[in-house]
Amino acid sequence: MRHVSRFILLAASGSLLFLTGCQTGRVAGGGPYHVTAYRPHDPSAVRVKVSLSKQNVYVMEGDRCLMAAAISVGIPAKPTPKGNFTIYSKQEQKRSGSYGFSVQGNHVVPSTGGGPGRYVGYPMGYWCEFAPAYGFHQGFVHPYPRTHGCIRLHGEAAPKFFALVKIGTPVNIATSQPEDATLASTVQRVDDSKAPDPSPGLMITSAAFEKPSGPLLQ
């Protein structure tokens, strides 16, 4: 997690000032990323397919594509698991229990869950868990593997994905998917690798969970 790592490096030279309402970039991405998502005719027929090689997610209803979006997947040392899964837990405002911040007075410092101060986990909005400690969630998306195994969706793609899947929705994660041949070229790419880090003061508030700019489903 590039943004968590940068906070840790900054903390080595001193605490981070709590800057209420100071935002240098979009909370869950470096710029607009508009994705169209279509309402399913039969929600029980929705299937999720993840292509690790293309870093794409395809939400399908039979042969009908409901949404296709760019994602970030796990680095080689901590890969995204392959196989067949189901969504079994959803939480709109999920926070990490492993990475986050400690609020000490009017300062915010990086934290791994221990030490003094009030711990506030790193935001992982629109969490859809498919395996223990692995889930789809909102966050910065890079053009190369970047996560610790979770699957990140940029900005408004995350709440739209959250709206499309239900508890029990099947998920297939593989190196490639048949949809790569027909849909991959239509997926808008995104590169948040140079996006500025949001203010830590903002990240500990509910504003860290970015809302969609328009209707969720068409």
User: What's the whole-model pTM score?
Assistant: 0.86
Q: 20-24, 191-195, 206-210: which has the minimum mean pLDDT?
A: 20-24
DSSP output for the chain = -HHHHHHHHHHTTSPEE--TT--SS-TTSSS---------S-GGGEEEEEETTTTEEEEEETTEEEEEEEEE-B-TTSPPPPEEEE--EEETT-EEEEEEEEEETTEEEEESS-SSSEEEEEE--SEEEEETTEEEEE----SS--BSS-EEE-TTHHHHHHHH--TT-EEEEES--TTHHHHGGGSPP---TTPPPPPHHHHTSGGGSPPPSS-S--
- pLDDT, one tens digit per residue, over 108-135 is 888 877 667 889 999 999 999 999 999 9
Average pLDDT, stretch 96-111?
86
pLDDT band at 5 (very low <50, low <70, confident <90, very high): very low
pLDDT value of residue 32 = 77
2-205 to CATH, choices 2.40.440.10, 3.40.50.1820, 2.60.40.10, 2.130.10.10? 2.40.440.10
- The C-alpha atoms of residue 106 and residue 47 are separated, in whole angstroms, by 45
State the CB neighbour count (10 A cutoff) for residue 92: 12
Residue 214 has pLDDT above 90, yes or no: no
For residues 34 and 171, the model is more confident at 171
- pLDDT, one tens digit per residue, over 22-51 is 233 467 766 678 899 999 999 999 999 999
Burial class (CB in 10 A: 0-12, 13-18, 19+), 216: middle
pLDDT value of residue 30 = 62
